[in-house]
Amino acid sequence: MTTPHVLVLSGLGINCERETAAAFRLAGATADIIHINALCANTAPLREAQILAFPGGFSFGDRLGAGQALANRIRHRKLPNGQTLLGELVRFVETGGFVLGICNGFQILAKLGLVPNTGGNCIQEVALAENASARFENRWCHLALTQEGPMGFFAHLGQIELPARHGEGRLIFRDETVRQAVIDQSLDWLTYSMADGSPAAGFPENPNGADLACAGLSDPTGRVIGLMPHPEAYVSPYTHYDWPRRRREGRNMIHEGDGLRFIRTLVRLSTQGASPALDRSREEL
């Protein structure tokens, strides 16, 4: 099995690139951090990668809405080959690559129309609007994973915990048609939940007021994945906020954090050579 290679974007306000690259390396991949301007000047590194990661941060300071300015650059700026970076990303996915967007990265993918992309034309179908609380929320969340759809390969992770840190994460749909398509195809693969695994009833379990309590979306292929919480922030049991109490009380300390378990599954999936939407055995992962 070849070791998958990950490109992690940096620059223009992105500020979680080092943590994201470190998490992928812990998960068994090789990872290079590349400035977005360098990738626009030369997209050759993209053709050598299996995963492209858009980390969290505040691209362009979120001055025009979270992720909007960088999404506009990716969609409209012409590259030396005359194409746009969005076009290169579409081809990257079509040829077997995976794209992961975390927090601000998820916001960028949504504004590019890469998720949920139910129409297949990369037109924006959802927005990640200002939190219902009208303030920045920084809290740990219980999260449930779908058992169905293109992200069903991740269902073995069970309920997980990850920290969410954002001011604009309230998912809203463009219209009822898009909302129903997301439900029908199980593209809302990650949802805020109560501690017992039941759907989040409201704040603070749903920290931003997202429709469907949605914390993450994928495209229909399962190759473009976005989520608001930060998996790279929970790679070790000792980065969980409650680890001292757990150790004092003699509770089992898992050997790796839920975020690393998620990223490790993505890394393994990227070596399989098939879309997660295909009917394959989950035991392989």
pLDDT interval class at 277 (50, 70, 90): low
Q: Which long-range contacts (CB under 8 A, 24 or more apart) does 10-13 make?
A: 10/34, 10/35, 10/36, 10/55, 11/35, 11/36, 11/37, 12/36, 12/37, 12/59, 12/60, 12/70, 13/57, 13/58, 13/59, 13/60, 13/61, 13/62, 13/70, 13/104
> Mean of the pLDDT values across residues 57-75?
90
pLDDT interval class at 281 (50, 70, 90): very low
SS (H, E, C) the chain: CCCCEEEEEEECCECCHHHHHHHHHHCCCEEEEEEHHHHHHCCHHHHCCCEEEECCECHHHHECECCHHHHHHHHHCECCCCCEHHHHHHHHHHCCCEEEEECHHHHHHHHHCCCCCCCCCCCCCEEEEECCCCCCEEEEEEEEECCCCCCHHHHHHCCEEEEEEECEEEEEECCHHHHHHHHHHCCCCEEEECCCCCECCCCCCCCCCCHHHEEEEECCCCCEEEECCCHHHCCCHHHCCCHHHHHHCCCCCCCCCHHHHHHHHHHHHHCCCCCCCCCCCHHHC
Q: Which residues contact 279 (CB under 8 A, 6 or more apart)?
A: none
pLDDT interval class at 282 (50, 70, 90): very low
Instruction: Summarize pLDDT for 177-194 with one digit per residue, the tens.
Output: 999 999 999 999 999 999
pLDDT at 66: 85
Domains and their CATH numbers in the chain: 5-271 (3.40.50.880)
- Average pLDDT over the chain, rounded to an integer: 93
In the chain, what percentage of residues exceed pLDDT 70? 94
In the chain, what percentage of residues exceed pLDDT 90? 84
How far is residue 150's CA from residue 153's CA, in Å, rounded to a whole number? 7
pLDDT interval class at 136 (50, 70, 90): very high
pLDDT at 278: 46
Catalytic entry in 16, 17, 88, 103: 103
pLDDT at 275: 60
Q: How many residues does the chain have?
A: 285
pLDDT at 247: 79
Q: Which residue has the higher pLDDT, 124 or 281?
A: 124
Per-residue pLDDT at 254 exceeds 80:
no
pLDDT interval class at 252 (50, 70, 90): low
Per-residue pLDDT at 67 exceeds 50:
yes
Is 103 tagged catalytic?
yes
Per-residue pLDDT at 280 exceeds 50:
no
**Phi and psi based region of residue 49 (left: phi greater than 0; alpha: psi -120 to 50; beta: remaining):** beta
Is 161 tagged catalytic?
no
Give the Cβ contact number of residue 278 at 10 Å: 11
Range with the poorest average pLDDT among 47-51, 65-69, 246-250? 246-250
pLDDT interval class at 175 (50, 70, 90): very high
> Mean of the pLDDT values across residues 141-159?
94
pLDDT at 276: 59
Q: What is the pTM of this model?
A: 0.94
pLDDT at 194: 96
pLDDT at 64: 76
Is 232 tagged catalytic?
yes
